[in-house]
Amino acid sequence: MALGWTDFIAITAVVFVAQSVRFGFDTEPSGSAGLPVTAISICLIVAWMVALRVYQTLDRRVIGSGSVEYSRVVSASLSVFGVLAILALALQLDVSRGFFAMALPVGTVALLVSRWLWRKWLARRRSDGDFIERVLVVGETRSATHLISHLVARPELGLHVAGACLPTARMRPAETALIVDDAEVGVFGDFDDVGAAVQACGASVVAVTSAEALGHAGMRELSWDLEKVGVSMMVSPGITDIAGPRMMVRPVAGLPLLHIDKPQYEAATRFRKALVDRGGATVMMLLIAPVLALIALLIKLDSPGPVFYRATRVGMGNAPFRMWKFRSMYRDAELRKQELLDQNEGSGVLFKIHDDPRVTRFGKLLRRYSIDELPQLLNVLGGTMSLVGPRPPLPEEVELYDGRVARRMLVKPGMTGLWQVSGRSNLSWEESVHLDLSYVENWSIMGDAAILWRTVKAVVTKEGAY
């Protein structure tokens, strides 16, 4: 309810500000339709609010998690203005295009910022134990443990594991405990005890992780029983690293089958991403050109050597390229690397050391705020990198890839990515690869926008940077 009122306040404020900027305080009829300006504004507000409801932006299942919430807000905003443009053209209404051109982007940004602020507030409250749903996990021990581990690690999702029903409970005393990541989860029997377990642990949601173990009849009867007591049911498809936009339930011969779309990094989608990359890099280069020149001067004054460092990395399709960076080390860094191998703190083939003695005084500042990576905008303009993507791998790292890991080479590496906003140097090699694969499998424009937003926070807080 509060979120809906916030949407209404944001839209109303933006629309009437746009009206006052475009028309002043004149409320006389505007355009060939002869409608008062205020009437047009009210119609726009109503249409916008209706569009937000049609796109289910207040669905509690998407509020506070993932990029779907933001995507729905943007889609609703674009659709309402698209419909209004069509009506204006069909009815030959001579309304001010400047008014709508001002209200659309500002209003959409206001809604997104409002949602983001609410999400931060909700995450804090959920971490404190408020606004949560109690979940009963039902399934085989292995799959149930996997889901419980994810939910325990993400308290901001608001899904608190209240208990579990496992087939192994038949061989152990009732109400024993399952230990997952130092969290103790009560076991309330086996699959035949789900109804009683819901009442015992006060669950409002039942999450089934092993539908095949319950069988078709068991799943149907369970859904009916839960419907009677007002408890919702979630079913895990048993597929990891696949996000919602690629999944769709498709009824076939009376059976609900989960349809998994191909990863969206081909044809028109790739062209759209390239357009965003080139346009964004061009704007950023123009805006920060004076800053880049100043940094180059300071590098030259700090230590002898070139301004830039060009490292060999492997890009899309295993094609090698030269990646631009500001030099942050002394010229003999590669020669001194052999002397420091015993101090390596990196994972896999990555070489990392806290307080690396090869880093220059000014280079430490560059690395702390990831400023040394700004020249990679040249790679984005040249088409070898993207603004957002997997981490650019070393050639020797790619040689060790198996078939699973090699999928990260299906897209261009990025200046930033999930690895950048999830810990950077604090991540293990396996964790970095997992995040890269998740990005490749579930790429979307809105996901890229969310990562860019989170990158700003990661850079400012210096999280995982050294």
pLDDT in 10s for each residue of the chain, 466 residues: 688 899 999 999 998 888 888 776 555 545 545 567 788 788 889 999 999 999 888 888 788 777 788 888 998 998 988 887 777 677 666 666 677 788 888 999 999 999 989 988 888 888 888 888 999 999 888 888 888 888 888 888 888 999 999 887 655 554 577 778 778 888 888 888 888 999 999 999 999 988 878 887 888 888 888 988 889 998 887 665 565 556 666 666 566 666 666 555 555 567 778 888 999 999 999 999 999 999 999 999 988 889 998 989 999 888 999 999 999 888 877 777 766 666 665 555 566 677 777 888 898 888 888 889 999 999 999 999 999 998 888 888 888 777 777 778 888 999 998 877 876 656 666 777 778 888 877 777 778 888 888 887 777 665 555 4
Spatial distance between the Cα atoms of 84 and 212, rounded to a whole number of angstroms: 48
Dihedral of CA atoms 176, 182, 183, 186 in degrees, nearest 10, equals: 0
Nearest in space to 137 (alpha carbons), one of 127, 129, 146, 128: 146
320-326/386-388 β-pairing = unpaired
- Where helices occur in 91-235 by DSSP H, the ranges are 97-127, 141-153, 194-201, 211-228
- Residue 257: partners with Cβ closer than 8 Å, 6 or more residues away: 249, 250, 251
Kindly report the pTM of this predicted structure. 0.65
CATH superfamily of 133-238: NAD(P)-binding Rossmann-like Domain (3.40.50.720)
DSSP three-state, residue 35:
strand
205-208/414-416 β-pairing = unpaired
Spatial distance between the Cα atoms of 387 and 411, rounded to a whole number of angstroms: 12
Neighbours of 66 (CB within 10 A): 18
Domain with CATH 3.40.50.720 in the chain: 133-238
How many helices (H) does the chain have, and how many strands (E)?
Answer: 14, 14
